[in-house]
Amino acid sequence: MLRNELNHYSPGEKLPSSRALVERFGVSPVTVSRALAVLAADGLVVTRPGAGAYRAETVAREKPVVDTSWQEIALTADDQGGERVVDASGLSANLAVPPPDVIAFNGGYLHASLQPERAMATALASAARRPGAWERPPLAGVTALRAWFARELGLTPAEVLISGGGQAALSTALRAVAPPGSAVLVESPTYPGVLAAARAAGLRPVPVPVDDGGVRLDLLQEVLAATGAKVFYCQPLFQNPTGAVLAPERRRELLEIVHAAGAFLVEDDWARHLGHGGPVPAPLVADDPHGSVVHLGSLTKATSPNLRVAALAARGPVLERLRAIQVVDSFFVPRPFQEATLDLVAALSWPRHLRSLAAGLRERRDAMVGALQRELPSLAPPRVPTGGHYLWLRLPAGTDETALTSAALRAGVAVSPGRGYFAAEAPAQHLRLGFADTSGAQEITEGVRRLATACAEVNL
Is residue 146 in a domain? yes
In this structure, are 190 and 336 located in the same domain?
yes
Give the domain CATH number at 36.
1.10.10.10
Worst-scoring range by mean pLDDT, 14-23, 192-201, 340-349?
Answer: 14-23
User: Which residue in 388, 357, 158, 107 sits closest to 269, CA to CA?
Assistant: 388
Q: Cβ–Cβ contacts within 10 Å for residue 376, how many?
A: 17
Structure confidence by residue, pLDDT tens digits, 402-435: 999 999 999 999 999 999 999 998 889 999 999 9
Give yes or no for a contact between 456 and 130, defined as CB atoms under 8 angstroms apart.
no
Name the strand (E) or helix (H) holding 435.
Answer: none
**Mean pLDDT value across the chain:** 90
Q: What is the pLDDT at residue 130?
A: 87
Helices 441-457, 349-375: axis angle to 10 degrees equals 30
In this structure, are 195 and 235 located in the same domain?
yes
> Which residues lie across from 207 on neighbouring strands?
186
User: Which residue in 415, 175, 384, 452 sits closest to 294, CA to CA?
Assistant: 175
Q: What is the pLDDT at residue 69?
A: 79
In this structure, are 181 and 194 located in the same domain?
yes
In this structure, are 359 and 322 located in the same domain?
no
% the chain with pLDDT above 90:
70
Q: What gap in Å lies between CA 261 and CA 36, rounded to an integer?
A: 62
Q: Number of folded domains in the chain?
A: 3
Name the strand (E) or helix (H) holding 380.
Answer: none
388 Ramachandran zone, left/alpha/beta (phi>0; psi -120 to 50) = left
- Name which residue leads in pLDDT, 330 or 206: 206
Give yes or no for a contact between 205 and 93, defined as CB atoms under 8 angstroms apart.
no
The whole model's pTM is what? 0.84
Structure confidence by residue, pLDDT tens digits, 111-161: 999 999 999 999 999 998 888 889 999 899 999 999 999 998 989 999 999
Q: What is the pLDDT at residue 273?
A: 96
In this structure, are 374 and 422 located in the same domain?
yes
In this structure, are 237 and 284 located in the same domain?
yes
**pLDDT bucket at 250, cuts 50 / 70 / 90:** very high
Instruction: Give exposure, 164-175, as e/b (b: 16+ Cβ within 10 Å).
Output: bbbbbbbbbbbb
**pLDDT bucket at 8, cuts 50 / 70 / 90:** confident
Give the domain CATH number at 445.
3.90.1150.10
Q: What is the pLDDT at residue 27?
A: 83
Q: What gap in Å lies between CA 22 and CA 38, rounded to an integer?
A: 16
Q: Structural domain of residue 373, as residue ranges?
A: 89-113+351-457
In this structure, are 257 and 286 located in the same domain?
yes
Is residue 81 in a domain? no
Q: What gap in Å lies between CA 77 and CA 84, rounded to an integer?
A: 7
Structure confidence by residue, pLDDT tens digits, 52-103: 888 887 655 566 788 877 877 777 766 554 556 777 776 776 677 778 899 9
> Which residues lie across from 413 on neighbouring strands?
103
Is residue 295 in a domain? yes
Q: What is the pLDDT at residue 160?
A: 96
Q: What gap in Å lies between CA 429 and CA 392, rounded to an integer?
A: 11
Is residue 66 in a domain? no
* Averaged pLDDT for residues 269-288: 94
Give yes or no for a contact between 301 and 271, defined as CB atoms under 8 angstroms apart.
yes
In this structure, are 422 and 342 located in the same domain?
no
Q: Is the dihedral of CA 340, 344, 345, 347 positive or negative?
A: positive
Structure confidence by residue, pLDDT tens digits, 334-359: 999 999 999 999 999 999 999 999 99
Name the strand (E) or helix (H) holding 226.
Answer: helix 217-227
In this structure, are 160 and 233 located in the same domain?
yes
